[in-house]
Structure 1
């Protein structure tokens, strides 16, 4: 829904008339045009209307679609991720990817291009993996930025495992701590935290336990308010995995399987299975260094 449709939705649910929505800045005809999408509403006027509705901005904007094109992309992306063999939707996403491969108009489209490549190159031969040139382009772009936005952190979460250690250190110096973290939306913060956990995991898979320890120490300094339990639990899992690989002490393996059991109990079966395979691979075989394209790659919300 757009802003006008959302205002009409809440007004009717709360059994209010258009007349009851008016104030010194709005006349009946103006408000009617706003609800029907024929007139733009000023942000300060919208704030007054939300007061009349006793609505928080978060509750209101959770129903507003300000970017229908991106909403459609996200729906297609996640449907394809869950239905890899659906040829109709697969072709739609591939066609969109090919369009982006020729040209991206903005950061959002660049981010969409990256997440398609990183995730679906694992499954579809039509989508090639990231090239070294593309990784360098991403690094060069990020090193020029002084303020990272949501799409920047999404790109980082998906690609930081492809960076060299030097590149990772240089980018993290700019990305962390998250500037204005208390003012950021939860999704942006989650992308930043996913960047860290993905980085630590990639260091463990590369047998760079010293590097994994360094980044784990850095990660533990984030989320100072202790609000993001998902992030903190993932850090604890990675900490236990690293401790087991370094010390071989069985207690850490017990902690790992306690966490996996917790995921199963809350219904996150897919993530539990991914971690079981990861633990088996890293601990029950003489695993060799693998291509960065073969590191476990989860599905990041975009």
Structure 2
């Protein structure tokens, strides 16, 4: 729905007339045109109307799609991730990927191109893995920016494991602390936090335990208000994994499997299985550093 349709939806659900929606700056005909999408509404006027409706901005905008194309892309992306063998939907995503491979018009399209490559190249031959040249271009782009946006954090989250240690340090020195953290939306913060857990995981897989400990310390200073339980739980998992690898103390292994059991109990069986394999692999006596393309690559929800 657009803004006008959403206003009409809530007005009718709350059994209000158009006249009851008016503020000091609107006449009945103007408000009617807004509901029908024929007139733009000022942000201060919208704020006044939301007060009358006792609606929070979050509740109101949750029903509005300001970017229908991106909404459709996300739906297609996640459907394909969960139904890898659906050929018709796969072809739609592959066609979109091929279009993006020729040219991306903006940061959003660059981000879409990258997340398709990083996730689906492990399953579909039609999607090429990300290349060293592309990684270098991404790093160069990121190091030119002074302020990271949501799609920047999404790109970093998906690609940071491919960066060199020096590149990781350079990019993260710009990305952390998160500028205007208190003003960021939850989705942007999720990607920023994923960026940190992914660099910690990457350092652990490379046996750079000192580097992993450094970023664990940095990560624990984020989410100052303690709102993101998923982030904090992932940090605790990584902390216990690192402590076991460094000290060999058995109680850390017990903590790891307690966490995995919790993941199983809430129904995320695929993630639990991935973590079991990771723990078994990293704690095996013959563990060796592998190519970065073989590091765990999960699905980012947003």
TM-score range, shorter chain: over 0.9
Match of 1:61 in 2: 61
Higher alpha-carbon deviation: 167-176 or 257-266 = 257-266
- Deviation string for 1:146-175 (max 9, x for gaps)? 010000000000001100011011101100
TM-score w.r.t. the length of structure 1 is 0.98
Q: How far, CA to CA, are the matches of 2:38 and 2:96 in structure 1? A: 31
- RMSD between aligned residues: 1.0
What pairs up with 1:64-83 in 2 under 5 angstroms?
64-83=64-83
Give me the whole-angstrom Cα distance separating, in 2, the residues matched to 1:38 and 1:301.
Answer: 35
Deviates more, 1:263-272 or 1:67-76: 263-272
- Pairing of 1:161-240 with structure 2 (within 5 A): 161-240=161-240
Describe the superposition over 1:60-102 as per-residue Cα deviations: whole angstroms up to 9, x where unpaired: 0011100000000000000000000100000000000011111
TM-score (norm 2): 0.98
Q: Deviations over 1:125-163 (max 9, x none)?
A: 111111011001110111010010000000000001100
Show the 5 A alignment for 1:117-128. 117-128=117-128
Larger displacement relative to structure 2 (90-99 or 280-289): 280-289
* CA distance in structure 2 between the aligned counterparts of 1:10 and 1:84, rounded to whole angstroms: 38
CA distance in 2, matches of 1:5, 1:208: 53
> How far 1:214 sits from its partner (Å)?
1.5
Aligned position for 1:265: 265
**C-alpha distance in 1 between matches for 2:301 and 2:255:** 27
Indicate the SS of the match to 1:173: helix
Quote the offset at 1:247 in angstroms. Answer: 1.3
SS at match of 1:284: coil
Distance 1:285 1:205 in 2: 14
Aligned counterpart, 2:146? 146
In structure 1, the gaps of 5 or more residues are none
Q: Which moved more, 1:110-119 or 1:214-223?
A: 214-223
Mapped to 2, the partners of 1:174 and 1:104 lie a distance apart of 24
In the TM superposition, what is the alpha-carbon distance from 1:268 to its structure 2 partner?
2.1
Inter-partner Cα distance in structure 2 for 1:171 and 1:285: 33
Greater alpha carbon shift after TM alignment, 179-188 vs 289-298: 289-298
Residue in structure 2 matched with residue 42 of structure 1 by the alignment: 42
Higher relative contact order (CA 8 A, sep 6+): 1
Q: Give how far 1:288 is off.
A: 2.1
Count of residues in Structure 1 that have an aligned counterpart in Structure 2: 302
Encode CA deviations 1:229-261: one digit per residue, 9 max, x unaligned.
Answer: 111111110011111111111100000011111
**Cross-structure match for 2:159:** 159
Query: How many angstroms apart in 1 are the aligned matches of 2:210 and 2:125?
Result: 35
Q: Deviations over 1:250-285 (max 9, x none)?
A: 100000011111112222222211111111111235
2:112 corresponds to which residue?
A: 112
CA distance in 1 between counterparts of 2:78 and 2:274 reads 18
Q: Deviations over 1:17-72 (max 9, x none)?
A: 11111122111111111111111111111111111111011110011100000000
Deviates most, 21-30 or 93-102:
21-30
Task: Name the CA distance, whole Å, in 2 between partners of 1:208 and 1:184.
Answer: 31
Paired residue for 2:252? 252
Q: Could you tell me which residue of structure 2 aligns to residue 32 of structure 1?
A: 32
The runs of 4+ residues in structure 1 deviating greater than 4 Å are none
1:293 is aligned to: 293
- Where does residue 92 of structure 2 map in the other structure? 92
